Structure 1
């Protein structure tokens, strides 16, 4: 047998194998894109002077979390940027996202206009498309070079040996080369934590010109650390999510289904299993341990909302105030208006400071001061804002000082949303207790009721709109019958022993035996002791016209959360 020709044939096959792997090596030398930028317009072409809306979805395609993601789009000169939900600086729009998890997307928007007399550079691309610009190098090439060298060196050495003895080593060499090439192809470029920069472009036809938007994304891809498992507890965190509208009436909002609700411990970063809202927009996270948490609400096409939640040892069930989510494509300036009221008499308070933040933990973006009637007005980019209300006025003898409070305000582009109010209570004496009820536009009349121990030690007193005061013990300070509140009851001189029970009655719908309007009212009960806010209760998402909020034991000075809903036609029978 002619071993020389067999030897040459086998080596030829090895060389051909290496050559055939060159395209694979070349492909692996180009980094797989970590992000996808999907840009959509409402149509393929536009006229001059017509607003051109853009919707941008940035998706993290990697298997890692992307942090500190900065997306920038550069618009050609002489093209007007009308609006955006990002920061506009000259011809550049910037969006900052703290985190985009693996296989998840964030959404942004902007709009442009081209006037006919402006000069627009004409591009060769004429259809609506997203183009990937030059790619960066990968790690396939080094593997290919090593594999090729092994094949060549072993092949040369094999020509000097008896081919019958060299067939097995040559086969092994070919397998090693193939394995190395395969590794170069499949090992991801982001196998380690790394900084990433990627570029994209998008072109749309406007008039006779093609306008190109150039995108640049920078991010840090980080391996997920071994997740900390959450500690099982006994508390329930629940609530409701709706679509935001241009009023303060929560009874007419559209419930949002399939909103992803995530609860993360702010200290340990432990995360409970996310849940989705049901068809009524309701959610429930159970077995929650005491701690401070960040609750996030996420849904495709809507702006993410985040809230702080504190679970105490005594908490069994916590109802979060209704979350209103705004659509991503609503951009522009809107106005919020309202009044800061005194819980004692319902009158506006002059000179109160309002610090507005993007969220509770964010920086102050605007500071306001109420006018002579306690009113405020502010123009802000579309969004939900955390408003911190404080009494920073210089101390003047005889002038009340108020306990700080906060509330959520919303703005929607080109809309004025009024009656976004907040209530402050004057500082009380150390042993005094004040309960303040506020709510939205509907139902118009919610009533506060306090049932407690009488001084004779045998009977009970009942303070409400028909019996506004019980001796020097407790009083209904302010009664509101035309929406919003406040309704305020104060225990001035608590009886030494006994239980006080606080209720909210839906007087507007008292005669109905099936009603959920109070659960949609946005009703909030805040309890103050001395100069501190000690408890906050949000109305449960359940049917009923009577909300038993809490019981308070004077002897131990402890609150017991009740949060039950039932029906009651006659206000006289509340608490019996």
Structure 2
């Protein structure tokens, strides 16, 4: 049954990708999709503002359609919804098409929480998000899925591409050190693989007073199966953002 559900989810995502490509090529419309970072379901009735272009509302599939006269541009996009954390990030147009068009947004959280959300393209199929609290827990699909004290957990795992994959801690210890990284499980037997760097991966870090703190995009043209996102030291985000052959 689990395989059947996963297969259906993969087919749905692939069908969405084909539909979006058709809209771009045949209708001249660009499509952006928004998803719930905890459930992976589309977010309906969200407000999307695209700088210098317009304001839109997401439909039942979490989509907006828009047109752009620019062949190459970086658009500033802002997503708002009463149940979700306001999120602003860049969307890139390359040769008249969107470099990436699927974005997962965090629902609002209890104050003091921190959440990491991973999105990527259809390849590699299986990327794993990790949150490590030094000398304490290691949260991921293949390690602990819930910390012993219940303060951190893997909210959502994804094994068929696109994401989201999400980890939340409800209690950030300002005296501790954390590491957030992504592991390319699909290519785990090829440490020199460049697939991770070609994944169009992005990780959003949410926290503080329900804010989007930072957005990290995977460095391109690098080999390795580990993408080191950031450390969290004394409650502060310390960017790493490098692809490596190990988590160290």
Q: Same fold (TM over 0.5)?
A: yes
Number of the residue aligned with 1:322:
none
Q: Counterpart in 1 of 2:6?
A: none
| Shift of residue 474, structure 1, vs aligned partner | 0.7
Matched, 1:422 2:100: no
From 184, 191, 200, the counterpart of 1:513: 191
Map Cα deviations across residues 541-568 of structure 1 (whole Å, 9 max, x no partner). 3211012222112xx2222223343225
The equivalent of 1:443 in structure 2 is 124
Is 1:464 aligned with 2:140?
A: yes
What is the TM-score of this pair, normalised by structure 2? 0.77
What is the distance in 2 between the residues matched to 1:419 and 1:561? 22
* SS of residue paired to 2:172: coil
**SS in structure 2 opposite 1:550?**
strand
Q: Show structure 1 runs of 4+ deviating over 4 A.
A: none
Aligned match for 1:367, one of 25, 44, 55? 55
Shift of the 504–405 alpha-carbon distance from structure 1 to 2, 3 Å rule, reads same
Deviations 1:112-138 (A, max 9, x none): xxxxxxxxxxxxxxxxxxxxxxxxxxx
Cα-to-partner distance string for 1:281-316 (whole Å, 9 max, x where unaligned): xxxxxxxxxxxxxxxxxxxxxxxxxxxxxxxxxxxx
Larger Rg: 1
- Any residues of structure 2 matched to 1:83-102 within 5 Å, and which? none
Tell me by how many angstroms 1:350 deviates: 0.7
37, 48, 52: which one aligns with 1:343 = 37
Answer whether contact 1:353 1:369 (CA < 8 A) is retained: yes
The reply to whether residue 536 of structure 1 matches residue 215 of structure 2 is yes
The structural deviation recorded for 1:478 is 1.4
Match of 1:480, SS state, is coil
Aligned counterpart for 2:89 among listed residues 393, 399, 406: 406
Distance in 2 (CA, whole Å) between partners of 1:480 and 1:430 is 26
Distance 1:333 1:387 in 2: 23
**Which residue of 493, 497, 507 corresponds with 2:175?**
497
Q: TM-score, normalised by structure 1?
A: 0.35
Tell me, yes or no, if structure 1 residue 434 matches structure 2 residue 110.
no
CA contact (8 A) 1:514 1:543 kept: yes
**How many aligned positions are there?**
221
* 1:83-162 → structure 2 map (5 Å cutoff): none
**Structure 1 residue 333: deviation in Å?**
6.9
Alignment partners' CA distance in 2, 1:419 and 1:563: 19
Question: 2:5 matched to which residue of 1?
Answer: none
Q: Indicate conservation of the 8 Å contact 1:550/1:559, yes or no.
A: yes
Deviation string 1:485-509 (CA, Å, 9 cap, x unpaired) is 2211111123463211111101111
Q: Quick check: 2:121–2:161 contact (8 Å CA) kept in 1?
A: yes
CA deviation digits over 1:9-38, x for unaligned, max 9?
Answer: xxxxxxxxxxxxxxxxxxxxxxxxxxxxxx
Q: CA RMSD in A?
A: 3.0
- Tell me which residue corresponds to 1:30: none
Q: Secondary structure at the match of 2:223?
A: coil
* 1:525 maps onto 2:203 in alignment: yes
CA distance, structure 2, for counterparts of residue 473 and residue 432 of structure 1: 9
Is it true that 1:474 corresponds to 2:152 in the alignment? yes
Residue 515 of structure 1, CA deviation: 1.3
Counterparts of 1:183-198 in structure 2, within 5 Å, are none
1:545 aligned to 2:234? no
SS class of match (2:186): helix
Q: Note closer, same or farther for the CA distance 1:443–1:436 as it changes in structure 2 (3 Å cut).
A: same
Higher RCO (C-alpha under 8 Å, 6+ residues apart): 2
Taking the aligned partners of 1:562 and 1:381, their CA distance within structure 2 comes to: 35
